[in-house]
Amino acid sequence: MNREGVAFGYRTRTLRHRSFSGRVSVRLLTVSAALFLSAVGLTVVALTHGDYPLTIQQVFGALTGGERGFERTIVVTWRLPIAIAAVVFGALLGIGGAIFQSLTRNPLGSPDVIGFDAGSYTAVVVAILVIGTGSYWWIAFAAIAGGMATAFVVYVLANRRGVQGFRLIIVGIGVSALLGSVNSYLVSRAEIEDAMTVGFWGAGSIARVSWPPLVPAMAVAAAIVVSAALLSPAMRRLELGDDAAVTLGTRPGPARLGLIVTGVATVAVVTAAAGPIGFIALAAPQLARRLTRSAGVSLVASAGMGATLLAGAHLLSLLVAQAYRPVPVGLITVCLGGGYLIWLLIRETHQRYGLTL
Amino acid sequence: MYGPPAAAAGAENAEDAASRPSLYRRRAAGLLVILVALAVAGLFSVSFGANPMSPVRAWGALWERDGTEASNIVWTVRLPRTLLGVLVGSAFGVAGALIQALTRNPLADPGILGVNAGAGFAVTIGVGFFGLSSIDGYVWFAFLGAAAATVLVYLIGSAGRGPASPVTLVLAGVALSAVLGGFATFLTLIDEDTFRALRSWGLGSIARTGPDETLAVLPFLLAGLAIAILLAGSLNSIALGDDLAASLGTRVGRARVLGVLAVTLLAGGATALTGGIGFVGLMVPHVVRWFTGPDQRWIILYSALAAPVLVLAADVVGRVVARPGEIEVGIVTAVIGAPVLIALVRRRIASGL
């Protein structure tokens, strides 16, 4: 994002059509395709793992209709929605992270850093412990409402003649700390079973995803992808600064609002269905940027990287479950993602990349 | 880019030099105000609670240990609790002042820098793998974890060339807290007993630690305070920047190592005793700077006396609002402290940081 100069030396292909023309980086296309392929590959491997191990042939048989009976139930009814959720949610988080990092022009601007997760966690804690509901749809609603409200508050508090990346992050940390202590207070006073329920939700797990909640989530995901694709040119222009964006024919206000709504929606869908899954939105765009060697974050490559990361974390969680105990996938992403953030800090602080806030 | 505190301090110094007598008067008056406030907060702390008594009666009970109910409550429950509050308050306040001075970072706070997460992680390990079951066993695990986390965050934050930048340190704390928190959550979720034991530990309370543990940790806290006081002069020159400090005869490297050692002893010890009381180390040095100006010797002295006022006041508030139960002091300070942090970043427009 902050690199200077034009991207010389990248091989590109020019596409021309009656209604569309554009230049596409060959590297970006190959990397994105490879990432999506690896996400699908990891998913297929993940389908074979579980309490009842299957072979790849059995999985393919069940998927294509060759296998009947118990194997088919296991694969199609139980494991497939979880595996699809890993890919789709990962891609959504990648898109959301890319949008926020582009808007804040900061590799640390991600929905979980600015307090969205803490907000939805608090709302779910209140829903389960105070109101006493355990229904899936209420929890999903609470997660979305709490997250959106918190993101809005953080944004408003950080806004002072424009939103600075640095201020946004610190305000997010402050609000998260406040909500975190309220959460711990409520959890410490609750019945142990309810508190454990909240704890599991807060760890972020896709293991309970089944078809009924996945279908609406997929519909929203499709809408998000379309909206992100439509807004992508405006996002590129906003990265040049508002003045340049206006010159190029983009209205910054509506474009930014549309991007923020799309970005928050990505996290809202995932959080509602699976609980907070941390750090994918943070890490995916930056890892993708390194692979594509592009100047800015790319939506397609970030989506591919997000899908690969979450599919990989899902597979890892299955392997840990076989070897030791079941572990929520959110804890794996937090540990790996936190480690990645530490590495990013050590490596890049003094290169001035992006952290010159 | 990140050096403005030195410039700001310089400007304030020039201003202060013009009005030196009034600065001394202000410092002395402020000290008096803080001591009075500390006395009042202490008296309130021994008076309020599930069984409230008038401050006059509490005062009487303090001087006559005659076996009445009031005297028993005061001597066995509230006085140890109040003294612990004073002790850990001083420790957190001085640790905050030290780490803000060392990193030239006005946003540094032991809690934000991952000390709590380190302590919590170590206690989780202790409960989950070593079967700890009582608070006196937690203390040493917490101390070790807090110490390791402090050193680790400081190393991460100051990796690479030059001194650690404010944002990097805060983010290093957040990242390390996230990783340690993730592991700790995993360990608590797979075992209900661990979950039960830990869900209230990290809230930050001065009500559950007994005098024995306090006495065991006391030497570490006193050592930390002593180092802080000896270091205060060097911190003044470090505020001018490392190069200038070195040319003034300060051994910058040694001062930094000793400073981190003192922060580790103070924040680690106090976190071990309480589970961590957030934001005290962030807020208090900021407030006392209004009275003292930029002189670190005064900031450290003031913080040591003013932070207990905040801790005791927050503790009393927590006891009064939720009667007959109580809200842990760490929750009250977080509720007060987070808005203060937000106000600070809103006030300092780019220049300050």
Instruction: Look at residues A297, A281, A279, A293 and name the one whose alpha carbon lies nearest to residue A354.
Output: A297
Per-residue pLDDT, B3: 40
Positions of chain B with pLDDT lower than 70, given as ranges: 1-21, 112, 135-136, 159-167, 348-353
On the 0-12 / 13-18 / 19+ scale of CB atoms within 10 A, A120 is: buried
CA B224 – CA A261 distance, rounded (Å): 49
Chosen from B180, B342, B347, B349 to mutate, greatest number of chain A CBs within 10 A: B342
Instruction: Give the tokens for residue A166.
Output: 């640095």
Would you call B186 and A327 a contact, using CB atoms and an 8 Å cutoff? yes
Average pLDDT over chain A reads 82
At residue B309, the pLDDT reads 94
Residue A55 has pLDDT above 50, yes or no: yes
Per the CB < 8 Å rule, is B199 touching A327? Answer: no
Q: Which CATH class is domain A37-353?
A: mainly alpha
Chain A residues close to B171, C-beta within 8 Å: 108, 169, 341, 345
Nearest Cβ partner for A349 among B165, B192, B200: B165
The predicted structure's pLDDT at residue B120 = 86
Which residue of chain B comes nearest to A196, CA vs CA?
A: B189
3-state secondary structure (DSSP) of residue A178: helix
Long-range contacts of residues B291-294, Cβ cutoff 8 Å, at least 24 apart: B291/B26, B291/B27, B291/B30, B292/B27, B292/B30, B293/B12, B293/B13, B293/B16, B293/B23, B293/B27, B294/B8, B294/B9, B294/B12, B294/B13, B294/B236, B294/B239
What ipTM, to 2 d.p.?
0.78
Lowest average pLDDT, out of A172-181, A271-280, B1-10, B185-194, goes to B1-10
User: What tokens were used for A39?
Assistant: 């996400």
Whether B279 and B109 have beta carbons less than 8 Å apart is answered as yes
Give the CA-trace dihedral at B306, B312, B314, B318, to 10 degrees. Answer: 180
At B307, the amino acid letter reads A
Q: What is the DSSP string of B207-259?
A: SS--HHHHHHHHHHHHHHHHHHHHHHHHHHHHTT-HHHHHHTT--HHHHHHHH
The enclosing H or E element of A22 equals: strand A21-25
**pLDDT reported for residue A350:** 53
Measured between alpha carbons, how far is A294 from A281 in angstroms, rounded to an integer? 18
Find chain B residues with C-beta within 8 A of A167's C-beta: 345-346
Average pLDDT over residues A158-165: 70
Q: Please give the full DSSP string across A305-345, using - where no structure is assigned.
A: HHHHHHHHHHHHHHHHHHHS----HHHHHHHHHHHHHHHHH
Higher pLDDT, A344 or B147: B147
Residues of chain B contacting residue A356, judged by C-beta atoms under 8 Å apart: 1
Q: Burial code of A278-290, b = ≥16 C-beta within 10 A, e = fewer?
A: bbbbbbbbbbbbe
- When CB atoms are compared, the residue of A185, A337, A345 closest to B168 is A345
Chains A and B form CB pairs within 8 A to the count of 142
Chain B residues whose beta carbon lies within 8 Å of the beta carbon of residue A157: 342, 346
The position carrying tokens 């979880």 is A82
Q: What is the pLDDT of residue B353?
A: 34
Enter the tokens of residue B83. Answer: 């003294």
Q: Does B178 contact A341 at a Cβ distance shorter than 8 Å?
A: yes
Angle (nearest 5°) at CA B191 between B188 and B195: 45
Mutant choice from B113, B121, B185, B333 vs A, greatest count of A C-beta within 10 A: B185
- Of B74, B111, B104, B116, whose CA–CA distance to B241 is shortest? B104
Say whether residue B152 is in contact with chain A using an 8 A CB cutoff. Answer: no
Q: Do A331 and B162 touch (CB under 8 A)?
A: no
Q: What is the DSSP letter of A111?
A: T
Q: Which residue has the tokens 């630690």?
A: B209
Question: Given this model, what pLDDT does residue B177 score?
Answer: 86
How many other CB atoms are found less than 10 A from the CB of residue A152? 15
Query: pLDDT tens, B286-320?
Result: 888 878 878 888 899 999 999 999 999 999 998 88
The pTM of this model reads 0.81
Q: What is the least distance, in Å, from the CA of B274 to any CA of chain A? A: 15
Of B352, B239, B234, B290, whose CA–CA distance to B6 is shortest?
A: B239
Contact A187 B199 (CB under 8 A): yes
- Quickly list DSSP for B298-312: HHHHHHHHHHHHHHH
* SS3 assignment, position A206: coil
Sign of CA dihedral B57, B326, B91, B25: negative
Instruction: Give the DSSP H/E element, type plus range, for residue A261.
Output: helix A252-274
The three-state DSSP-derived secondary structure of B93-123 is: HHHHHHHHHHCCCCCCCCCCCCHHHHHHHHH
* Most confident of the ranges A26-35, A204-213, B85-94: B85-94
